[in-house]
């Protein structure tokens, strides 16, 4: 009886196995097709000339066109001109049996430029014969826009934090302008009896008005330049000029309490090819952090040292402070978005992660060294 049951169980198991195998053979293609079409990611197939041969709904949404409108068309008709040669290189490198990964911008039917992260893989049959190229990916346009928005938010947060110092900086020259204008008015009123000495005083007074007005204009211009958002634009400039301007911009913050900024610069120009405004935002963030660290340490001899190491392929800028330093257990988190070591209301947790992201976009890097109660050094690496 037991043997019969075992034989019966074996037959049942074999029958189930055959049913599963039959189900796989009969429905596998349909299941994969359903999965292919319903995925929120982008899938499409290309021949080796770059023509569409298949795609899912995600790809149709990306290009803004239906499958019937795209099949047989070249993908190069839709990629942004700046990415066309790179895309051709990626497709040609698949002949070496290597997957290729990269970011590309495509123009959809509505004229919008969308950025995608794509993976290119050889498509082969069961006999290992090449059929074409399978491309999978994601539309990262929204994420890229979010990162750009964060950069602008960080600028505005920095301006909000510095408002008190800026107002104080404007108060003194405006007061002098007011007094000088009053004195000039009195002299002009008595102009009929004006002697040489009065004329000299009037000229000096008007000169003072002009200088102080220019000073106010420069302060407000710096603030507006820092806040305004612009597209990244690389150009050649002396990194030392940028650092001098940044230090000048931070002067109101460095006065209360007084913090010395010591620079170890070269007498010769150190030219880099980068984005001036974005780099200035990075150094404003780094100096702001250094100022806070020194204030938090309640030091009377607060010092920020800025030095440069210049090589053929790269330039490194070191921003060192003698503040509190970063506790060791917090050091692996400081580049996380919204993480801050400052008290509530004092920091946004945006400065460092955004600064590192800016430098990544510019082909550089941001790192640091820190010892608690001794200070921190941030290291900006820029390609030439």
Per-residue pLDDT, averaged over 339-354, amounts to 67
| Contacts (Cβ under 8 Å, ≥6 apart) of 152 | 229
- Residues 238-290: pLDDT tens digits? 999 999 999 988 888 888 789 999 999 999 999 999 999 889 989 998 999 99
| Helix, strand, coil abundance in the chain, percent, nearest 5 | 55, 25, 25
Per-residue pLDDT, averaged over 1-21, amounts to 48
CATH superfamily of 40-139: PAS domain (3.30.450.20)
Look at phi and psi of residue 50 and say left if phi exceeds 0, alpha if psi is from -120 to 50, else beta: left
- Residues 54-94: pLDDT tens digits? 888 888 888 888 888 889 999 998 988 888 888 888 887 77
pLDDT at 155: 66
Distance in angstroms (rounded) separating the CA atoms of residues 238 and 191: 50
Q: What percent of the chain has pLDDT over 90?
A: 23
Distance in angstroms (rounded) separating the CA atoms of residues 173 and 63: 57
Considering the four listed CATH numbers 2.40.40.20, 3.30.450.20, 3.40.50.620, 3.30.565.10, the one that applies to the domain covering 233-384 is: 3.30.565.10
The region of weakest confidence among 235-239, 281-285, 343-347, 369-373 is 343-347
User: At which residue do the structure tokens 């800016």 appear?
Assistant: 358
The token pair at 188 is 């002009």
Residue 344, pLDDT > 60, answer: no
CB 78 within 8 A of CB 105: no
pLDDT confidence tier of residue 237, bands split at 50, 70 and 90: very high
Indicate whether this model's pTM tops 0.75.
no
Among 30, 216, 334, residue whose Cα is nearest residue 342: 334
| 276-296 vs 239-249: helix crossing angle, rounded to 10 | 50
pLDDT at 18: 55
Contacts of residues 357-364 at CB distance under 8 Å and 24 or more positions apart, as own/partner, are 357/147, 357/151, 358/151, 358/278, 358/279, 358/281, 358/282, 359/282, 361/232, 361/278, 362/232, 362/234, 362/274, 362/275, 362/278, 362/279, 364/274, 364/314
pLDDT at 13: 43
Task: Give the three-class secondary structure for 318.
Answer: strand
pLDDT confidence tier of residue 10, bands split at 50, 70 and 90: very low
Task: Give the three-class secondary structure for 43.
Answer: strand
Residue 6, pLDDT > 50, answer: no
Domain residue ranges in the chain:
40-139, 157-229, 233-384
């Amino acid at each position: 009886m037991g043997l019969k049951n075992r034989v019966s169980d074996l037959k049942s198991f074999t029958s189930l196995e055959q049913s599963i195998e039959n189900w796989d053979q009969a429905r596998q293609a349909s299941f994969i097709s359903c999965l292919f079409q319903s995925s929120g990611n982008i899938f499409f197939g290309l021949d080796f000339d770059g023509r569409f041969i298949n795609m899912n709904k995600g790809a149709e949404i990306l290009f803004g066109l239906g499958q019937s409108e795209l099949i047989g068309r070249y993908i190069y008709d839709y990629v942004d001109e700046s990415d066309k040669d790179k895309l051709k290189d990626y497709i040609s490198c698949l002949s070496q049996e290597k997957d290729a990964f990269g970011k590309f911008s495509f123009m959809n039917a509505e004229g919008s430029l969308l950025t995608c992260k794509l993976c290119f893989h050889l498509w082969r049959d069961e006999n290992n014969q090449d059929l074409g190229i399978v491309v999978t990916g994601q539309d990262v346009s929204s994420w890229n826009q979010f990162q750009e928005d964060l950069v602008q938010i960080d600028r505005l947060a920095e301006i909000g934090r510095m408002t008190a110092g800026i107002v104080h900086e404007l108060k003194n020259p405006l007061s002098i302008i007011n007094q000088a204008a009053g004195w000039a008015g009195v002299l002009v009123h008595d102009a009929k009896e004006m002697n040489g000495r009065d004329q000299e005083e009037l000229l000096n007074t008007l000169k003072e008005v002009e200088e102080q007005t220019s000073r106010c204009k420069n302060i407000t211009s710096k603030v507006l330049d820092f806040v305004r958002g612009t597209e990244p634009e690389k150009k050649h400039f002396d990194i030392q000029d940028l650092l001098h301007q940044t230090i000048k911009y931070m002067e109101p913050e460095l006065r209360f309490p007084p913090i010395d900024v010591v620079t170890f610069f070269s007498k010769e120009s150190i030219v880099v090819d980068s984005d001036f405004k974005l780099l200035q935002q990075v150094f404003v963030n780094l100096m702001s952090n250094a100022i806070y660290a020194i204030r938090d340490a309640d030091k009377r001899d607060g010092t920020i040292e800025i030095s440069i190491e210049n090589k053929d392929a790269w330039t490194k800028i070191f921003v060192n402070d003698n503040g509190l330093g970063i506790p060791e257990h917090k050091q692996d988190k400081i580049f996380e978005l919204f993480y801050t070591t400052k008290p509530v209301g004092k920091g946004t947790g945006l400065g460092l992660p955004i600064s590192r992201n800016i430098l990544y976009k510019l082909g550089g890097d941001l790192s640091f060294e820190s010892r608690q109660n001794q200070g921190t050094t941030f290291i900006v690496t820029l390609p030439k």
